Amino acid sequence: QTLRLVINGVATAAQPLPTEWSELRFDLPPDALSQGINELVLRFDRTFPTESLVGASEPTVNLLVESAGLEAGNYAHIWLNGRDISPNQRGYNLAIVDSTTGEVLAVDSFDTHSDPTASDGLVRFLQQVKPGQLLAVAIKDTASDQLSEQAAQTLSALGLTDMRGKFRWAQAAIVAMEETTPPVVTEDVDGLQAAAVGIGAGWREPNVAAQVDWLRLERQQN
């Protein structure tokens, strides 16, 4: 794998990418950077299927859950190894995944904003979750108006925030069900902005080129 940078249309020479975490330095022509906004493009030689990385450099389950209310983006994504398995419907979007194999065991959505019967289905879905499984939760738009007391209590028993009264709040969560201990919950709830949580690399595409931790542009002083 190689990487070259293209900054404001000016390309650098390509450099080979090491297989381990490393820092790379690219020298730019003096006039490549402008005082205003600079466009930076990373050009890789190729991409790799995420399946080829799972179990090698990455864990079997790479999960990214994203949620947004109407004004913040209006979406609910559940990315499993680079593939979105979320129904992406208004209300609760849920998926149950085997934490060892990554197999998708169940997926569904429940519009607890406008459907008074959706809470019953939500409770039944949540009751399926067993030890050794991951529960992914993402709210699209809003899920509060018709959320029943029983549904709220079932969610709370899993360690999740009660979303009643939280109109168009985002909620993204991953619940790891354990055999002998309470569930391990990773959750992000936000009333103004989008929310996201993840385990592993957090891919949004089924093919990837590399992982990049940070970038820094410096103008050398003469």
- pLDDT tens for the chain, 222 residues long, are 999 999 899 899 999 998 888 899 998 887 888 888 889 999 999 998 887 776 555 668 899 999 999 999 999 999 999 999 999 999 999 999 999 999 999 999 999 999 999 999 999 999 999 999 999 999 999 999 999 999 999 999 999 999 999 999 999 999 999 887 889 999 999 999 999 999 988 888 888 888 888 888 776 665
Position 222 scores a pLDDT of 59
Tokens representing 96 are 């149950």
pLDDT tens digit sequence for 1-60: 999 999 899 899 999 998 888 899 998 887 888 888 889 999 999 998 887 776 555 668
Residue 178 CA neighbour count, 13 Å, CB half? 7
Q: Name residue 65's beta-bridge partners.
A: 78, 197
Running DSSP on this structure, what letter comes out for residue 160? P
Which residue intervals of the chain are DSSP H helices? 50-53, 118-126, 149-157
Nearest to 143 by CA among 164, 117, 127, 120: 164
Rounded Cα gap, residues 115 and 136, in angstroms: 21
Q: What is the pLDDT of residue 59?
A: 67
pLDDT score recorded for residue 169: 97
Q: What's this model's pTM, rounded to 2 decimal places?
A: 0.81
Q: How confident is the model at residue 201, as a pLDDT?
A: 82
| pLDDT score of 153 | 97
Contacts 24+ apart (CB under 8 A), 125-130: 125/94, 126/94, 126/154, 126/155, 126/158, 127/154, 128/96, 129/96, 129/158, 129/175, 129/177, 130/177
